[in-house]
Amino acid sequence: MSAEPMKSDLGLYDYLPWPNRPKIVWPGNKKIAVWIAPNIEFYEYNPPNNPTRTPWARPNPDVLQYSHRDYGNRAGWQRMMAAMDRAGFRGSVSLNVALCDHHPEIIKACADRGWEFFSHGIYNTRYVYNLDIEQEREIIRDAFDTVRKHTGQELAGWLSPALSNNFWTMDILSEAGIQYTCDMFHDDQPMPVKVKSGKLISMPYSLEMNDVIVYNTQKVTPRHYGEIIKRQFDQLYKEGDESGTVMCIPLHPYLVGQPHRIDAFAEAIEYIAGHDGVWQTTGREIAAAYHSTGAYDAMSAAIAAYNAGPKDAGPKSAGKETR
């Protein structure tokens, strides 16, 4: 990562309290946009060395970690996909694009269902740390070309490989035509990202709902994970009465697709699908609606007004609706 002067915050987005925000109205007057982001990844057994980060906690050959993740591409993804089919959810695939060559059958199964593909880098064992800006641009071009070749889709979204970033990453994503990034976790609504060109937005992509965090860090049971998903939904669904919210469920087939875990996940998303006012959608569709309804411009104007005015004026009305 390039040298950067010390500063107090990222400088990538502005603060805007909820009462000062314009109302977001999702298509069909839905209260909440719910999207599921399966991370369909490929981990190299012995990847090139990166001096900043090593992919495996144990010395090579780390058969344990490699084969555990490979489970997702062999068995786990099919259970996950079947559960999503039953609940009527399409996926937005957070894709290591090399998987198009390693496992084209998975790509075909997703594409046949109308799932979206967004990029999660080339391999999840290759990071952008210590790359220069042109090297990172080449990764972005590679991702666009590979997804277009294998699916016919143009990339709209980006989640950096293993959440690795450089100071210029958001600028070059936007200049390449990426519409939304999942690399920020700061809000329950899409928000404008400060970039040199374009209209990049941050898409809510929750670490709290992420099965890696839930199972590997918090060590919860499958039943508890199902309850976490439902409680997250209940709160955001209620808040959607005032302004449209977004809920993301990030998944990894090697975790959620385990036989003893799949039923709790399936029951939770069927619970969500059983409510009125739920937009079961994709990241691409959320980004498109955010722009087409004028929400991006209205939010940007509200941010500018808030920055220009006194910060102790108290709550204001939610502003005009964006339709």
pLDDT number for residue 60: 79
- 48-52, 200-204, 248-252, 278-282 — which is least confidently predicted? 48-52
Q: Side chain identity at 219, as an amino acid letter?
A: K
Other beta carbons within 10 angstroms of residue 176's beta carbon come to 15
240 in a domain, yes or no?
yes
Q: Is the model's pLDDT at 322 over the cut of 70?
A: no
Task: Using DSSP, state whether 322 is helix, strand or coil.
Answer: strand
pLDDT number for residue 317: 36
Contact 255, 261 (CB under 8 A): yes
pLDDT band at 5 (very low <50, low <70, confident <90, very high): low
Mean pLDDT of the chain: 93
CATH number at residue 42: 3.20.20.370
Share of the chain above pLDDT 90, in %: 85
Q: Is the model's pLDDT at 228 over the cut of 60?
A: yes
Contact 107, 152 (CB under 8 A): no
pLDDT number for residue 318: 37
297 in a domain, yes or no?
no
Domain that holds residue 263: 30-292
312 in a domain, yes or no?
no
pLDDT number for residue 47: 85
167 in a domain, yes or no?
yes
270 in a domain, yes or no?
yes
286 in a domain, yes or no?
yes
Residue with tokens 């790509």: 107
Please give the angle made by the CA atoms of 8, 11 and 14, to the nearest 5 degrees: 110
pLDDT number for residue 312: 57
pLDDT band at 9 (very low <50, low <70, confident <90, very high): confident
| Cβ-based neighbours of 242, under 8 Å, separated by 6 or more | 23, 318
Q: Name the residue among 93, 287, 281, 300 with its Cα closest to residue 190.
A: 287
Instruction: Render pLDDT for 27-57 as a digit per residue (tens, 0 to 9).
Output: 999 999 999 999 999 999 888 887 788 887 7
Please give the angle made by the CA atoms of 251, 138 and 40, to the nearest 5 degrees: 15
Strands (E), 205-315: 245-251, 278-281
- Phi, psi (rounded to 5 degrees) for 89: -100, 130
Tell me what the mean pLDDT of segment 12-37 comes to.
Answer: 97
Domains contained in the chain, number: 1
Q: Is the model's pLDDT at 314 over the cut of 60?
A: no
Instruction: Render pLDDT for 236-248 as a digit per residue (tens, 0 to 9).
Output: 999 999 999 999 9
235 in a domain, yes or no?
yes
79 in a domain, yes or no?
yes
